[in-house]
Amino acid sequence: MAEGLLGRLSGRGASSKTGTDKNFEVALSDEEWRQRLTPEQYRVLRQHGTERAGTSPLDKQHGAGIYHCAACGQPLFDAGSKFNSGTGWPSFSAPLEQAVETDTDRSFFMTRTEVHCRRCGGHLGHAFEDGPAPTGLRYCMNGVSLDFHAGETPPESAPAGNAPKKERMTAAELPGSILSFRCHCERSAAISRQRSAEGLLRRSAPRNEGM
């Protein structure tokens, strides 16, 4: 009853598509989500509920690893971006690249930035502008929306501009046709220099004038 009232106040019904009609990569029916998720996960992830502060063991989890979406398994946050916000919910300063999306949430007569999984649209929590440097953001997440994989590391991508440089080829590595052309050019240049020098000597030699 209370949940239904809150749902009406927030303008969100069961199996809402996060405020839009967007189709996500992982799209299940409402019944399929109910079968896959626990009742509490379904309430938060699919009905945009909020778990009670301080109830998630992930709030006190400080080990290295990756936090995934509990609904579809999408990697969301690196534990390196997690910090103690003192709110009672797991908080992060930044998500992994291309992991989450945001939407404007105008429920409960306020405007907030809602955060959901990019892959399935599952509701994760909200983002606030009171986080630590360097982002200044606090991604306040429901622990029940997350699945922690201890010891996992995020995939590494090669930084731009770090591609190995191609070394200059040696003469021995040059194809035969290119090497022959290069030798031809070098011989032509040598002959040209020799002829220039001979012409200079002829011009500077004393002439034998007639009597």
pTM of the predicted protein model: 0.66
Residue segments in the chain with a per-residue pLDDT below the cut of 50: 1-19, 158-185, 208-211
Which CB contacts under 8 angstroms, 24+ apart, belong to 153-160?
153/64, 153/66, 154/66, 154/75, 154/78, 154/96
Out of 117, 140, 183, 185, the active site residue is 140
∠ at Cα 51 (45, 56), nearest 5°? Answer: 105
Would you state the pLDDT for residue 198? Answer: 61
pLDDT of residue 154: 86
Is residue 69 flagged as an active site residue? Answer: no
Q: pLDDT value at position 55?
A: 96
Q: Which two tokens stand for residue 103?
A: 């939407």
* Beta-bridge mates of residue 162: none
